[in-house]
Chain A
Amino acid sequence: MATPTLDKEDVKPEAGFADSPYITITLRVRRFNPEVSADATWEDFQLEIDPKERVLDALHKVKWDMDGTLTFRRSCAHGICGSDAMRINGKNRLACKTLIKDINPGKPITVEPIKGLTVLKDLVVDMDPFFQAYRDVMPFLVTKGNEPTRERLQSAEDRERFDDTTKCILCAACTSSCPVFWNDGQYFGPAAIVNAHRFIFDSRDEAGEQRLEILNDKDGVWRCRTTFNCTDACPRGIEVTKAIQEVKRALITRRF
């Protein structure tokens, strides 16, 4: 006998996760392809889907069964690689972490590229400015003196101090939900600050002052107006606004 496999259609409801019937949804996608037209347009796709599936599954159904030209980035499909941040029903989310049933599938589901970065094709944006801001905050451990032979010691509490900001997957959901960033692409944006925070508050690091100076710039942390959009958008549950506040406080007190 071969390995048992599963035929989705046959699966019946089970306590704990009742199976739901397939439903018909409308996916309303913002399309743009400069090889075809200079203008972006909305296009509707109707499809059958199990509401427990992800928006990414819906996009795949369109791409694989209906329109192969639909273009988006994705890889891991479970919220770990940061490829597929997009605006879904007006909010920044990862398509692979958003279940259809959680976003009111009775109405058309809108899917657009994240804002503030140049759209290259459909849901694909130019990520280079985003990664440039990240690189500008010196996102690497800096230490002085001789390397120890074994590991550097760090207490569990010191390790915990920056735990939250180590979770970042550089998806840009935060930065591209920030009204300050929309108005001025020069602003470092929340993600870069989150990654500076990750090192500023690491007890092993010795370049905190330098990073703070970088963020003291006119395009640095002071541009933040604490709208909390970034915290709401972060698929990793990072308290982005709090991290920014902590960096601001460190700039004033020079204690971190």
Chain B
Amino acid sequence: MKIHKYDTVIVGAGGAGMRAAIEATKRSRTAVLTKLYPTRSHTGAAQGGMAAALANVEEDNWEWHTFDTIKGGDYLVDQDAAEILAKEAIDAVLDLEKMGLPFNRTPDGTIDQRRFGGHTRNHGEAAVRRSCYAADRTGHMILQTLYQNCVKEGVEFFNEFYVLDQIIVEVDGVKKSAGVVAYELATGEIHIFQAKSVIYASGGTGKFFKVTSNAHTLTGDGQAACYRRGIPLEDMEFFQFHPTGIWRMGILLTEGARGEGGILRNKDGERFMEKYAPVMKDLASRDVVSRSIYTEIREGRGCGPEGDHVYLDLTHLPPEQLDAKLPDITEFARTYLGIEPYTDPIPIQPTAHYAMGGIPTNVEGEVLADNTTVVPGLYAAGEVACVSVHGANRLGTNSLLDINVFGKRAGIAAAEYAAKSDFVELPENAQELVVSQVERLRDATGTERVAELRKELQETMDANVMVFRTEQTIKTAVEKIAELRERYLNVSIQDKGKRFNTDLLEAIELGNLLDLAEVMAQSALARKESRGGHYREDFPNRDDVNFMRHTMAYREVGDDGTETIRLDYKPVVQTRYQPMERKY
């Protein structure tokens, strides 16, 4: 075992982690621990763009953007945070351009902008061009640009290091962060990183669903590590289902395709979104479009012999436009479906896409131990965190924005905190939990297989807590997850070695997914209303009287060692926007 000492440790090297690292490295001795090589992070998969009211192509301002974000989030957004997001968006985009990001350009040479779902002119009048983009690989360009600037700044990376535990110590009755415990993939060695500040930037948790746009590695490790150490998780019932995943595979086809003029059609060729969202049509917010697709499918207007998908039609767009603006996603259709998007519509279905919930933070990225108490030295930013700028439903292009705005804020705050603080003493045997977890799995002889349990988990999540939920379906999921957690204790792996033991890590990742799935299902069960991405058929309306509040889920361990989830609630920060009915 090795012990390292850094001022600031960042967990994750996606957009949020690297944006934080650029700031933290300038101000403090910083290490970035990442389970993937930085450029493999899933930020690179983002396609459509990053929102900012630059007003380069038409009138726009950050106040309209703030409003859209709050309305898009079905009023569960903390309004102070949304205002910061929209205001700082402009500098966030300009920062990236100055770092070298090759945005598409207007004829004047400024950054070009395009339409995206839910982004409107003057509080909902019409779609506005607010998304700054680089073809349909904006996330790729952000990830590359940030990595390039990390190289320039000499950021220190520990690649293929898996953070498996968060060290929390109570000092005079105050919970403080002392560092993290990591597992080195190449050698199997355990490392302790003692740090004054720790920033979680470890991304989402989409892999508990089967049909998902998320990478195999998005297993919620950061959320799970903090949760197990007593940090609550906020709004975990809110998960976004993106309307246009490739049928059966879940690979994303950006909303930018509809921003460029693409149309959703049912088996009769009808442009069905006109019925559900007369003004915004195909560019209504994602939760609305995903529900509309499934309504079409349920009412027998789905396509294909099983009637289980609808079409994304790009055939009326000129091939040159597709080549220039949507080269990657048209290639996905060719590669994975053998379909030519110039002439044929693309079969799509909603795909599990984005975790609105996560580790609760304030606008400086400081992690909260309850509704108000900050955990000194602990920060989170990006998809792992819940600020909350996305509320019950994130608008497209607001996450690439989030990771830049709050990644930067967390990087600065963490480094400044480190500069004025001392190391917190490590507890004895800080590595104990990880060592025992690893040893238990290596020595296990049980009969259960990781892949089988994961498959069953994904199937139950898709069937029971996806776009439509009821008390009954959620309870089915809760029971199934409990069964799977029980069986997980009896799981064994085949690779007993030390080098590159991905068999072992997949088992650990499954444990994280199971913990988080349970939190999600329990949070969803208790929220007896429909709001944004959380749609309860048995409670189809939003209920502001009882549920205009964030869910806070705590892990409780009884004296006999039994684990339960305690749900509490946190008020939503409202500044100037009163909740209204959400129409598009």
Binding site for B on A (CB under 8 A): 1-6, 8, 10-14, 16-17, 33-36, 52, 63-65, 67-69, 71-83, 97, 99, 120-122, 124, 127, 131, 135, 139-141, 143, 147-148, 150-156, 159, 162-163, 166-170, 199, 202, 204-205
Q: Is the CB of B37 within 8 A of A78?
A: no
Q: Which of A4, A64, A97, A167 is the most central at the interface, judged by chain B CB atoms within 10 Å of its CB?
A: A4
Q: Is the CB of A153 within 8 A of B109?
A: yes
Q: Is the CB of B216 within 8 A of A140?
A: no
The answer, yes or no, to whether B269 is at the interface (CB within 8 Å) is no
Stretch from B66-74, B141-149, B189-197 at the A interface? B141-149
User: Per-residue 0/1 for B340-364: is the Cβ within 8 Å of any A Cβ (1 yes, 0 no)?
Assistant: 0000100101000000000000000
Q: Is the CB of A121 within 8 A of B464?
A: no
A-B contact pairs, 18 of them (CB 8 A): A4-B298, A6-B349, A12-B305, A12-B306, A16-B338, A68-B450, A68-B494, A75-B40, A81-B39, A81-B40, A81-B42, A81-B215, A141-B99, A147-B98, A150-B110, A151-B103, A155-B105, A166-B134
Cβ-neighbour of B45 out of A69, A76, A121, A199 (below 8 A): A76
Residues of B within 8 A of A205 (CB): 100
- Extra pairs beyond A69-B503, A202-B102 (9, CB < 8 Å): A4-B298, A6-B349, A11-B248, A14-B347, A68-B494, A69-B497, A81-B45, A127-B37, A166-B141
A204 to B43, CA, bound (A): 25
In order of increasing CB-CB distance, the 6 nearest A-B pairs are A141-B100, A64-B451, A68-B494, A153-B109, A3-B466, A68-B503
A74 to B508, CA, bound (A): 17
Q: Is the CB of A69 within 8 A of B109?
A: no
A6 to B499, CA, bound (A): 37
Closest B residue to A167 using CB positions = B137
Stretch from B174-182, B329-337, B365-373 at the A interface? B329-337
Residues of B within 8 A of A79 (CB): 332, 335
Which residues of chain B (124-148) have a CB below 8 Å from chain A? 134-135, 137, 140-141, 144, 148
A156 to B103, CA, bound (A): 10
Residues of A within 8 A of B335 (CB): 79, 97, 99
Interface of chain A, helix or strand or loop or mixed? loop
Q: Is the CB of A140 within 8 A of B107?
A: no
Query: Total contacts A to B, CB within 8 angstroms?
Result: 196
B407 to chain A, nearest CB (A): 18
A63 to chain B, nearest CB (A): 7
Known: A34-B499, A69-B497, A71-B502. A135 touches B151 (CB 8 A): yes
Residues of B within 8 A of A75 (CB): 36, 40, 42, 215-217
Q: Is the CB of B105 within 8 A of A78?
A: no
Closest B residue to A65 using CB positions = B451
The answer, yes or no, to whether B304 is at the interface (CB within 8 Å) is yes
A173 to B464, CA, bound (A): 41
User: Per-residue 0/1 for B425-469: is the Cβ within 8 Å of any A Cβ (1 yes, 0 no)?
Assistant: 000000000000000000000000111000000010011101110
Interface of chain B, helix or strand or loop or mixed? loop
The answer, yes or no, to whether B229 is at the interface (CB within 8 Å) is no
Known: A78-B251, A83-B40. A6 touches B100 (CB 8 A): no
A4 to B135, CA, bound (A): 33
Q: Is the CB of B338 within 8 A of A17?
A: yes
Cβ-neighbour of B248 out of A8, A71, A143, A154 (below 8 A): A8
Q: Is the CB of B459 within 8 A of A5?
A: yes
The answer, yes or no, to whether B94 is at the interface (CB within 8 Å) is yes
Cβ-neighbour of B500 out of A5, A124, A148, A169 (below 8 A): A124
A185 to B196, CA, bound (A): 40
Cβ-neighbour of B494 out of A16, A35, A69 (below 8 A): A69
Residues of A within 8 A of B111 (CB): 151
Q: Is the CB of B493 within 8 A of A68?
A: yes
Residues of A within 8 A of B40 (CB): 73, 75-76, 81-83
The answer, yes or no, to whether B498 is at the interface (CB within 8 Å) is yes
Q: Is the CB of A155 within 8 A of B337?
A: no
Residues of A within 8 A of B462 (CB): 3, 5
Cβ-neighbour of A6 out of B107, B144, B248, B502 (below 8 A): B248
The answer, yes or no, to whether B108 is at the interface (CB within 8 Å) is yes
Residues of A within 8 A of B336 (CB): 78, 99
Residues of B within 8 A of A162 (CB): 102
Q: Is the CB of A169 within 8 A of B151?
A: no
Residues of A within 8 A of B140 (CB): 80, 167, 169
Known: A68-B494, A99-B335, A140-B149. A4 touches B305 (CB 8 A): no
A76 to B306, CA, bound (A): 28
Residues of A within 8 A of B279 (CB): none
Cβ-neighbour of A153 out of B110, B332, B500, B503 (below 8 A): B110
Q: Is the CB of B102 within 8 A of A153?
A: no
